[in-house]
Chain A
Amino acid sequence: MISKNNQTLLNVQNLHANTQDTEILKGINLTVNHGEIHAIMGLNGSGKSTFAKVLAGHPDYIVTQGNIQFEQQDLLALPPEERAQAGVFLAFQYPIEIPGVANSQFLRLAYNTVQSKRGNDELDPLEFDDFVREKMKLLEMNPDFLDRSVNEGFSGGEKKRNEILQMALLEPKLGILDETDSGLDIDALKIVAKGVNHLRNEQNAIILITHYQRLLDHIVPDYVHVMEAGRIIKTGGKELALELEKHGYDWLHNDQQKNAGVSV
């Protein structure tokens, strides 16, 4: 990779979180610097999606211990909308349908809200229309997306593209992609990956949550973390994902046993 801006964007320390009195996250530590791409892998139920939701401030999860520093801010002190305004973006694993609300209207409100909080000018409907159509080309989206209700009746692939479109509009500092690759055919995956690669730069960072190596062929991570039972149990470079693909997660346990006594 080209040279990194080493200033820390996100610093997660000893993060514990509950939902309905069950502890899901049991002490996560993670540092993400500007310009980096981190992949988080792991089996179902290991806490990957929960971690993403806790970063975004989902009300179903209660943080019981630890802290999250986002640039100079205490992220846990902010309500979800202020986290989004500050530059945290979550591409949902299952994007929510909002019947009756036109996509164009929703996107414009989101864009203008975030822009005004960041001290930038808002766009009127016509200016926004030009702006969003330009962004849609990047993701090879049909313009009639704008007139449809938010995610309503969208195919799985359309929903995921709509998520990346929102990321392109909101220009977050931290993009968290929660299994954006699931349910995508290979062509759609390439388009989404192209979009994400286009959006990355030295000022932002991306966390990819995925089960599969194939996404990482298209969006190459700087670090790969493996989660299990609410913790990150192993961290490595992009080659770690290839190893996992080859040997499965059990291999990691064998590997761990070999290194018994070494704390991770």
Chain B
Amino acid sequence: MSAVLQNLVNQPYKHGFVTEIESEIAPKGLNEETIRLISEKKNEPEWLLDFRLKAYQKWLTMSEPNWQNVHYSKIDFQSISYYAAPKPKKKLASMDEVDPELLRTFEKLGVPMHERAALAGVAVDVVFDSVSVATTYKEKLAEVGIIFCSISEAVQKHPELVKQYLGTVVPVGDNFFAALNSAVFTDGSFCYIPKGVKCPMDLSTYFRINTEGSGQFERTLVIAEEGASVSYLEGCTAPQFDTNQLHAAVVELIAMDNADIKYSTVQNWYAGDENGIGGIYNFVTKRGLAKGVNSRISWTQVETGSAITWKYPSCILRGDNSVGEFYSVALTNNLQQADTGTKMIHIGKNTRSTIISKGISAGKSNSSYRGLVRITPNAQNARNFSQCDSMLVGDQCGAHTFPYIQVHNNSAKVEHEASTSKIGEDQLFYFAQRGIDSEEAVSMIVNGFCKEVFQQLPMEFAVEATKLLSFKLEGSVG
């Protein structure tokens, strides 16, 4: 790879710093005691403790998956601390009361909270090391009957809703990491949109991992009742550490008749340095159930961080005429590895799904698309369109595509398109000959490549994502 390209793609992590906030950390290791401790700390009802213990028992019988196209040394689950909470100084009623150190952290991340919340009209549920610090706009949302809070709070205030839906889309024993999450999840977001309500603003959560050595196990549950619609944004970033951090989140979405859930993610966790030291292991289970007729679940993700990404936001299209969408940009650089894609399970009649996946590999990284399209026997007239494009930056990276297509109904129509391209010296020279330097050239090529996905993002997120990609690939010159 040329020096120019090498410089462009080698860019130190901008968000690498540790905020000094006192943390309360559970002893390392995982056993029933740990789980009881978490449940007790969070003052949980008996049924939830049972849920956790059941998941733990299931987890003990499972083994870590090894089919994915990523490589890492074995995780010692007994050396992880499963609970860390910022010591509460006092009850927080407004953003002004939030720890100034924490606010400074968000400033450094370029997320001016007040402004962002006020100007963009975004309600932000801030999760800091597994515990929600403050929730804004909640009252405004409450006026239309929307519940948007931390899942811990939901467990206390709306236990019947949580109990009814938790684990119904991703069962406790679904996979190794989902079982682990079900056993030890500490916090996350809960969102309930009542019948007929169109959520008046985008709901947004910023996640941040802060305590070295503490895995973060987020749990998110979004329910859209009949005729409801919501757009949910999730943005992530983490400070720079040398030890790998495990992140195993579970997200469940449920859409009833005529409901619409749009879930967008921008993920920029610490990816490790150029030698592959450090970085987050991002092993996430995200799944949406399009339960009702004419329901729609749409996933959009921009994955640029983490040492290893392993996630397949999926749609179970159970309702007749339901729609599933997956729009993804995955960018890997240095020694990052990503194995990501989706699953579209067509069960209802006339169900439709669209998959647009864009993988960009730079440095010595490896990026894989893995996607399943399954048309079950009763899914009359199901339709799928998949497009998987890979772009290589330099000549030491890899791109792989693993499509799985299972059709059990003759009326189905399934299309798969794939392409691989490369940003070459010749393209950069062409730009240069027109007066455009290589940084701008790479940025323009990559953003052009990702256009179809960025168009799916809410406006301010699209701007952020565009900047993020440019930033991840350029700027280190000099």
CB pairs A–B below 8 angstroms (21 shown)? A57-B432, A59-B4, A59-B425, A81-B431, A81-B435, A81-B437, A84-B432, A84-B433, A96-B429, A96-B430, A98-B427, A98-B448, A100-B450, A100-B451, A101-B444, A102-B448, A106-B444, A109-B444, A113-B436, A114-B434, A114-B435
Q: Which B residues between 441 and 471 are near A, CB-CB below 8 angstroms?
A: 444-445, 448-451
Min Cβ gap B438→A in Å is 8
Q: Which residue of B lies closest to A79 (CB)?
A: B432
Given contacts A113-B435, A117-B435, contact A100 B445 (CB under 8 A): yes
Task: Tell me the bound Cα distance from A96 to B51 in angstroms.
Answer: 58
Task: Tell me the bound Cα distance from A92 to B142 in angstroms.
Answer: 62
User: Out of A60, A80, A99, A109, which one reaches B433, CB within 8 Å?
Assistant: A80
Cβ–Cβ contact B435 & A100, under 8 A:
no
Cβ–Cβ contact B434 & A84, under 8 A:
yes
Cβ–Cβ contact B434 & A110, under 8 A:
yes
Cβ–Cβ contact B444 & A89, under 8 A:
no
A46 near B: Cβ within 8 Å? no
Min Cβ gap A76→B in Å is 15
Sorting the interface of chain B by its residue count into under 10, 10 to 19, 20 to 34 or 35 or more gives 20 to 34
Cβ–Cβ contact A100 & B448, under 8 A:
yes
Min Cβ gap A113→B in Å is 5
B174 near A: Cβ within 8 Å? no
B153 near A: Cβ within 8 Å? no
Min Cβ gap A69→B in Å is 20
B43 near A: Cβ within 8 Å? no
Which has the most chain A C-beta neighbours within 10 Å: B4, B429, B440, B449?
A: B429
Cβ–Cβ contact A89 & B448, under 8 A:
no
Task: Tell me the bound Cα distance from A95 to B445 in angstroms.
Answer: 16
Binary B-proximity of A45-73 (CB < 8 A = 1, otherwise 0)? 00000000000111110000000000000
B2 near A: Cβ within 8 Å? yes
Q: Which residues of B contact A79 (CB under 8 A)?
A: 432, 437
Cβ–Cβ contact A109 & B430, under 8 A:
no
Min Cβ gap B399→A in Å is 15
* Known contacts A81-B437, A99-B449; 19 further A-B pairs (Cβ under 8 A): A56-B429, A56-B433, A58-B429, A59-B2, A59-B429, A60-B425, A80-B433, A81-B435, A81-B436, A84-B434, A95-B430, A96-B426, A96-B427, A100-B445, A101-B445, A106-B444, A110-B434, A113-B434, A113-B435
Min Cβ gap B212→A in Å is 40
Task: Tell me the bound Cα distance from A71 to B431 in angstroms.
Answer: 23
Q: Binding site of B, secondary structure by majority: helix, strand, loop or mixed?
A: helix
Task: Tell me the bound Cα distance from A113 to B444 in angstroms.
Answer: 14
A149 near B: Cβ within 8 Å? yes
Task: Tell me the bound Cα distance from A149 to B432 in angstroms.
Answer: 18
Task: Tell me the bound Cα distance from A80 to B426 in angstroms.
Answer: 12
Q: Which residue of A lies closest to B4 (CB)?
A: A59
Q: Which residue of A lies closest to B2 (CB)?
A: A59
What 3 pairs between A and B have smallest CB-CB spacing? A100-B448, A80-B432, A110-B434
Question: Interface on B for A, CB 8 Å cutoff?
Answer: 2, 4, 421, 425-427, 429-437, 440, 444-445, 448-451
A39 near B: Cβ within 8 Å? no
Tally of contacts, chain A with chain B, CB under 8 A: 72
A33 near B: Cβ within 8 Å? no
Given contacts A85-B435, A92-B430, A96-B427, contact A101 B4 (CB under 8 A): no
Task: Tell me the bound Cα distance from A170 to B433 in angstroms.
Answer: 11
Cβ–Cβ contact A98 & B430, under 8 A:
yes
How many A residues touch B, CB cutoff 8 Å? 30
A41 near B: Cβ within 8 Å? no
Cβ–Cβ contact A101 & B436, under 8 A:
no
Q: Which residues of A contact B431 (CB under 8 A)?
A: 81, 110
Task: Tell me the bound Cα distance from A166 to B431 in angstroms.
Answer: 12
Min Cβ gap A37→B in Å is 21
Q: Which residues of A contact B429 (CB under 8 A)?
A: 56, 58-59, 80, 96
A90 near B: Cβ within 8 Å? yes
User: Out of B426, B434, B440, B449, which one reaches A100, CB within 8 Å?
Assistant: B449
Which has the most chain B C-beta neighbours within 10 Å: A59, A80, A114?
A: A80
Task: Tell me the bound Cα distance from A1 to B450 in angstroms.
Answer: 52
Q: Which residues of B contact A102 (CB under 8 A)?
A: 448
Q: Which residues of B contact A84 (CB under 8 A)?
A: 432-435
Q: Which residues of B contact A106 (CB under 8 A)?
A: 434, 444
Task: Tell me the bound Cα distance from A80 to B4 in angstroms.
Answer: 13
A29 near B: Cβ within 8 Å? no
Q: Which residue of B lies closest to A101 (CB)?
A: B448
Min Cβ gap A167→B in Å is 10
Cβ–Cβ contact A98 & B445, under 8 A:
yes
Q: Which A residues between 82 and 128 are near B, CB-CB below 8 angstroms?
A: 84-85, 89-90, 92, 95-96, 98-102, 105-106, 109-110, 113-114, 117
Q: Which residues of B contact A149 (CB under 8 A)?
A: 448
Min Cβ gap A92→B in Å is 7
Q: Which residues of B contact A95 (CB under 8 A)?
A: 430
Q: Which residues of A contact B425 (CB under 8 A)?
A: 59-60
Task: Tell me the bound Cα distance from A58 to B451 in angstroms.
Answer: 29
Task: Tell me the bound Cα distance from A193 to B435 in angstroms.
Answer: 24
Cβ–Cβ contact B427 & A109, under 8 A:
no
User: Out of B426, B432, B448, which one reaches A81, CB within 8 Å?
Assistant: B432
Task: Tell me the bound Cα distance from A24 to B237 in angstroms.
Answer: 51
Q: Which residue of B lies closest to A53 (CB)?
A: B429
User: Out of A58, A96, A110, which one reaches B435, CB within 8 Å?
Assistant: A110
Task: Tell me the bound Cα distance from A101 to B443 in angstroms.
Answer: 10
Q: Which residues of B contact A92 (CB under 8 A)?
A: 430, 433
Q: Which residues of A contact B421 (CB under 8 A)?
A: 99
Q: Which residue of B lies closest to A88 (CB)?
A: B433
Min Cβ gap B5→A in Å is 11
Min Cβ gap A50→B in Å is 14
Min Cβ gap A59→B in Å is 6
Task: Tell me the bound Cα distance from A219 to B440 in angstroms.
Answer: 35
Min Cβ gap A58→B in Å is 6
Min Cβ gap A116→B in Å is 9
Min Cβ gap B347→A in Å is 35
Task: Tell me the bound Cα distance from A149 to B421 in angstroms.
Answer: 14
User: Out of A56, A58, A90, A110, which one reaches B436, CB within 8 Å?
Assistant: A110
Cβ–Cβ contact B437 & A99, under 8 A:
no
Q: Which residue of B lies closest to A57 (CB)?
A: B432
Q: Which residues of A contact B449 (CB under 8 A)?
A: 99-100
Q: Which residue of A lies closest to B448 (CB)?
A: A100
Q: Which residues of B contact A100 (CB under 8 A)?
A: 445, 448-451
Q: Which residue of B lies closest to A114 (CB)?
A: B435
Task: Tell me the bound Cα distance from A59 to B430 in angstroms.
Answer: 11
Cβ–Cβ contact B440 & A109, under 8 A:
yes
Task: Tell me the bound Cα distance from A80 to B428 in angstroms.
Answer: 10
Q: Which residue of B lies closest to A80 (CB)?
A: B432
Q: Which residue of B lies closest to A107 (CB)?
A: B434
